[in-house]
Chains A and B, each alone.
Chain A
Amino acid sequence: MPLYYTTHVGVTGEPLGERDYADLRESWQAYRLHLPPVLRK
């Protein structure tokens, strides 16, 4: 079994993309405004 210390995200080490940062921004914005979670487009 390989060691699972490699990460951008998760044990697979997949890098975050622009879409992920966008989702992160929207999710946090909705949270701050007490809105329902943002659904993926």
Chain B
Amino acid sequence: MRISRTRAGLSVVTGAYRLFFPAGRPFATLDDPTGRPWAQLALAWSAHRLDALDETAAMEDPEVTEGPAVTTIRVQQTSSAWQGKSLLVECREDELSLWLELSGEGALTDLHLLAGYSSADERYGSGWFPSERFFETLFSPEPHGPERIVRPAGTTAAIDIVGGPGPGRGHWFFTPPPFCFAFARDAPPADPYGLPSGPWLAAGLLTAPGEQGFTAFAYEGGEETFGFRLQFEGRTRVSGAWRSPALVLLPGRADPYEALHAHRRSLERRALVPVARTPTDRPAWWREPIFCGWGAQVHLADELGIRAPDLCTRERYDGFMATLEEHGVFPGTVVIDDKWQASYGRGEADRGRWPDLRGWVAQRHARGQHVLLWWKAWDPEGLPAEWCVRNAAGRAVAADPTSAAYQAHLEATLQLMLGRDGYDADGLKIDFTASAPSGPGLEAAGREWGVELLHALLALIHRSSKAAKADALIVAHAPNPYFADVADMMRLNDMLRLERVVPGTDVVRQMSHRAKVAAAACPGLLIDTDDWQVPDLAAWREYLLAQPLLGVPCLSTTRPMWA
């Protein structure tokens, strides 16, 4: 790394990038080693409070602290909202990371990274100052269904923990995927599953455990511009000194998946996430092909004109299993899907549908099979409102994992579901993590919010499940490095949004893409390939062959005997 300071400005040159701070300018230029530009990076960021928007009113010259492997640059600033404010840039040979240091008091709403309000330089006027981009393609690891893998960099995208039904919310598949975007200079190809050529620039978050109180990491592209935003929703309180999550830029990556690997390694190097490793003591049965009854439930529901959850009954599942057996198909793992329980918030079987769940599980065990119970994360049905995150009207919005009473309830529930003296099931297929509570008017018992609240819920489920049964298998759809130790297997999730099916969706390429994202984020975990729902029989046949290459095969459909 070479550092030089001239009248023109401050320069940092490594084998991976060139960073230059022009003297007296409110931006820095980021180029590749040959001088080909990636971006002009805005140095005035905004950290808005509930009671004050943040504008940078003055900016000092960069101060440099050189070290053998790391050079740190501080740009001290005057803020309209904070007593103290500095932008820090940490340069290493193959990456640079940037963050804000603030002092003062206030509840954060939004943190804008590489963009913000500024009136710091009279030559540049005042107003909103984004960064300028010299890349045309944006890669987001957050799937939509069916998705394009890349899109124009002038658009916006969010990596978040929310989604579900309703306009614009059909992105629940990974909650959350890794907090890392990637960019390429060439325009997106016409092929929705194609990638432009590299090199790629990755932009990911580096955040300490416990500090991820945001619900979304957004990329905000415009015409030739870009920036990022973290949504804290007023729930992160700054009192005294505060350091923001860092944005790490990793230039020169070969493709977006390699970019995700590099981002994870960057997190691991700082001990911000569990180090990826393949467990040596993983039970062999975890790799067994899975049958999930949801597809068959939906098929029957359509034929009978009733709701699919009403078809989660012992009688129906006996039929599904008999049909498979009749055709010589033997799944090692069976998932009892939505809705085996009397209420979503409680783990007690609906006695009308499952009069003897323990007995049914025992029958499967006797045949050498294992049983997972579908679990709807967050759903407050059947729970006292005081155990829940509530809105201003007092309505329970979501189960609250920071409520001591809910924690005790969930521990007891999982003991019932998985314990030898309970139903004796073998694990959980966790769904609906995208129903995470979000919004400025909600109240929870504890301080955790956003990503941390979701992590707290999954950690509680994982820990309590293992306490109930040591080899319980926990399947989730949160392929993010921070979540690698609160799940054993990651689902690729639904192939399609049922209300927005696009003919011709290439499910093999789409799900291969998702598997690469999951493997990059959590390389030590198994992948549940899912099977719900394919566009047509031809696609099902293709995906049947592809599944073993991606992870654990899964079947989510069957022809019922009485169909």
Contact = CB atoms under 8 A, between A and B. Distances in A.
A4 B540 CA distance: 15
B539 A27 contact: no
B537 A39 contact: no
A7 B557 contact: yes
Contacts of A24: 327, 329, 544, 555
Contacts of A16: 537, 557-559
Interface string B319-359: 00000000111110000000000000000000000000000
A24 B544 CA distance: 7
A21 to B, nearest CB: 4
Contacts of B288: 32
Nearest to B549: A37
A11 B496 contact: yes
A40 interface: yes
A8 B303 CA distance: 10
Given A10-B535, A10-B537, A30 B557 contact: no
Nearest to A16: B559
Contacts of B498: 3-5, 11
B302 A6 contact: yes
Interface in B483-528: 496, 498-499, 501
Interface size of B as a range? 35 or more
Nearest to B505: A11
Interface residues of A, number: 30
B463 interface: no
Contact of A10 (B301, B533, B547): B533
Contacts of B299: 6-8, 13
A21 B557 CA distance: 11
Interface of A: 1, 3-16, 18, 20-21, 23-25, 27-28, 30-32, 37-40
Question: Shortest 4 CB-CB distances between A and B: which pairs?
Answer: A14-B537, A21-B327, A31-B548, A10-B534
24 contacts: A3-B498, A4-B496, A4-B498, A4-B533, A5-B498, A7-B302, A7-B557, A9-B534, A9-B536, A9-B537, A10-B534, A11-B534, A14-B537, A18-B327, A20-B544, A23-B545, A24-B544, A25-B329, A27-B547, A28-B329, A28-B330, A28-B553, A31-B548, A37-B549
